[in-house]
Amino acid sequence: MIELLKNTFSQLFKEEPSIVFAPGRINIIGEHTDYNDGYVLPAAIDKGIYIATNRNADAHVNLFSIEYNELYTCSIAELSKTNIHWVNYVLGAIIELKQRGYDIQGFNAVITSNLPVGAGVSSSAALTSATLFALNQLFSLGLGKTVMAKFAQQVEHHFAGVNCGIMDMFTSLMGKENHAIQLDCRDLSYSYVPINLDSYVFVLMNTNVKHSLASTAYNQRRKECEAGVALVKSKYPEVRSLRDISLAMLTECIPVTSIIHKRCFCIVNEIARVVSAVDAISKRDLVSLGSLLYQAHDELSHLYEVSCKELDYLVGTVQQMEGVMGARMMGGGFGGCTLNLIHKDFVSSIITTVKASYEVDCKLPFDSFIVSLGDGAKLITN
């Protein structure tokens, strides 16, 4: 892969590039908690985006994507949103930097990826993080990884119109091999949690559902959480986010039959589940971890309503099977992957069985992979 990247770069631009890698991510637990000032427990995976770059003297940005076999060129002085999805993340990163006064000049880039797109493993955050990390090197900007994560989040807000939290970019930049990150999204303090699952592995199962309304529904969920906070605030003015709110406060301030109550109830529980999951992992108590995954799925599906019938199908199917400790939908929802905690000896037979039934019952292709946890963004060659 890196050889192909180098060769493509030298064919197009006749020079040696420097190469940066930024990974995709899984999230063990803590869904939709990042924009509620809560905890998340994500981890970088060993698949991601590679970007080869060098500076040029012609004041242009020349971008080539190997996967899309597409070249895009524009002047560094005239950057604006295009109708090419992948290009926007790169241009968005440059614009965010330029708006903050960083001096970005012409450069060439070739991009390649081994991350599935739309599977909920944050390929867009990986692309933005890779671009920022590469530009930081190329133009000696002196940016730290946390600052880059904040800039990458702004790119998503301004260029993709998704009012997302910081989990995906933070993980892509800060991940550590064989560790998850317990991140406190209120102040970005974090600790690395060693992941040792004994005979178990995490497996991603891809529904191959790409929901076109996902970003609208995501922004709407965010507003519903804010509405819940406003209601509680009228009685408890010190409250700033769902992180500060208990179940008792919710029930006191919001009618229990309302949608807002359902949404907030799920998130308050989900924030607590992250703490319980870290405890279970540190005690190697995979039974408790698995049951937290099922609980999370149940509430995200029925209360937060960000699942879809295919995600529910996959979780419901594996729940009956020997060797499965837990499963849940992962990421923003409405499609993408489920995360499954499965005994090594059962993985291959489970995958075969689930694929056969999913493809018939849901009439969509099924794919899956065993997750390995890798490092965050890094320089591969200079």
Which residues are designated catalytic? 168
The end-to-end CA distance of the chain, in Å, is 17
Structure tokens at 366: 């099924």
Q: How far is the CB of 344 from ligand GLA (least distance, A)?
A: 27
Closest CB to ligand GLA among residues 267, 347: 267
Contact positions with ligand GLA (CB under 6 A) in 6-65 = 31-32, 34-35
Write the binding mask 171 to 190 for ligand GLA: x where contact by CB under 6 A, - elsewhere.
--------------------
Among 168, 224, 299, 310, indicate the residue that binds ligand GLA (CB under 6 A): 168
Distance (Å, whole) CA 72 – CA 65: 9
Distance (Å, whole) CA 286 – CA 198: 9
CA 20-188-23 angle, 5° bins = 25
Closest CB to ligand GLA among residues 41, 52: 41
Q: How far is the CB of 96 from ligand GLA (least distance, A)?
A: 16
Q: How far is the CB of 358 from ligand GLA (least distance, A)?
A: 23
Distance (Å, whole) CA 333 – CA 216: 12
Q: How far is the CB of 88 from ligand GLA (least distance, A)?
A: 16
Distance (Å, whole) CA 110 – CA 69: 10
Residue 9: which H helix or E strand, with range? helix 2-13
Distance (Å, whole) CA 228 – CA 266: 12
332 forms part of the interface with ligand GLA (CB under 6 A): yes
164 forms part of the interface with ligand GLA (CB under 6 A): yes
Closest CB to ligand GLA among residues 138, 164: 164
Q: How many residues interact with ligand GLA (rule CB under 6 A)?
A: 10
**Helix axis angle, 85-99 relative to 145-155, nearest 10°?**
120
Q: How far is the CB of 361 from ligand GLA (least distance, A)?
A: 26
Phi first, then psi: give them for residue 172, nearest 5 degrees: -60, -35
Residues that bind ligand GLA (CB under 6 A): 31-32, 34-35, 164-165, 167-168, 331-332
